[in-house]
Structure 1
């Protein structure tokens, strides 16, 4: 009997992927599972297999990356025009080439001072919002403050708004709609309204950029397409804008909050980070590996027969590249269920792999590095304001995280 695709994290440790993956990795043939989307799919759970298949041209990305966990998803619908996530072959290369310059390492490094300033401003805002401690000697408990709303969400939202030329004053509007669109409990009328509203918002933004070019990604994409003689259509620009707006803040915001919780839960590792700021870049890679916030993996359809382990998978079948499982593969990362900031985790696949590897990964790294260089240095006594067992998690969304993270700290009298 085909078992169901695992969609729940274990109750014991919210940082670990579903326990079924460890069993899948021990078998020669990939496990075949039934999915909420209503089709069976093969789970690719081993690190080497995931990397090999994600660069295989016999896999199509025409379906949304985690469509397999959406109940009764319409897998036969047409691919949205200009979707960089779902395009294949030449169509994908064209869009990717247009965007690659915007997220090159050199351009991202040039943003570092601005991102650092944003992080400092948000830390200042948290500290300034704290109540005055009572008139007694010794430190006073401050807060609580929801780190998600006051810190983790604003930073990537500020960054992506600035890059796209989106007024930050509109953040509540796009955050509310994007939160609806990354849910996995089925497509509803509310989902459709959120999609329509967000698309309409970006249409207006694109039209404004076409009329008046500014120093932002959308304006440069418009100009670059014209200069190359292959201008992007309104539909393509809107699709790119929506994708960057959602992906640019959802994933990083959840990584910031969940990483903070993981570090607070592992004080010895947090001490390593605090004692030597030069370890932050490597620590970020380990946190990306350990948490794997794109926790349902990547959905692909096979276009021509291929072999995985001892199984031949036929054209038309579906695969799930389980990123969180690959990142806990014992053959690549010894003692993989342990957070180890001294580990060399640079080869993780948290950003995917192959032609569809996350184009904004250098921006995400930059934001996470600046956050964890500064947050615990500025607020060294940061701690949870509620018991760890009371933290609530975002399990029904495409990107894993916490719904809120109440924190407190000590302030001097």
Structure 2
């Protein structure tokens, strides 16, 4: 990349914080040297939401307003033509983007967006695939639509992750006003779904053939999942989701499991602080690995498999919006053993976190002058 401008020329000591989680206290990590320097690779992006890497080193970046750009040599390109209509209101817009596993030969990518209802009443998360052809998308085809459409500008979820078997996980929010539907298997609200690349239902989906259940559903009881990644060793899907007033969660998501929302949660009602649901645990609900109280508002997530950052290999990185930090969690299997809060001086909402093909960590900042950042 060219024209790299350091954001903060001086390095800062690592900042740790101990918070109470659903599994008890998680210790803060002591500083293990200096933070990596942060470089601005590109800027001038309007509310960027997702970052994806192409095999040739270029990057795809979505902007919530409905623009998809290719970033090369430190410069965002012109918006690609062919993006379908997007309902860019509130938390809605053009959201996640991922190249297909066979992108090098197929030139196919997948992207999620808030799709307006044909009637103009309501919207819902949709996922489309398209072929990248120069400066435009062609053969655009919607392969999934969240049902029902809801009149809401919140909680679209919309992280996309390809499993090792080639099937696609799609995270879906409860749309805020329909939280009780997260426990109703007859709809897609508050669910994670799993589809084949063409939009069909894989034969081994856990609810396939279950009366009254949508066959695409992989798991349920989710509020608003905006971070998802495959564990590099096990291939399991890890996610995090926004709680209301507290109660953000980190989860390992297994097919056919209930994750509790809004019946089981550490979150509280906005304003009053009243308890929600029946408590924080229940035998039939998959427990969270980590719960944040107060909320950090997590967004974006990546496992570190690179040796570029001393002491970081095997860690899980999570961006935060409210806390305006990059969290580094150390893990022992499926147990969180510590947490560091990084980039205190950045002072920006971190929307996406990715490990690039070069092994470096890349971030997106969520603002009207959003940036692509590189660590180290």
TM range (shorter): under 0.3
Q: Which has the higher contact order (CA 8 A, sep 6+)?
A: 1
Q: Which has the larger radius of gyration?
A: 1
**TM-score w.r.t. length of structure 1:** 0.26
**TM-score w.r.t. length of structure 2:** 0.28
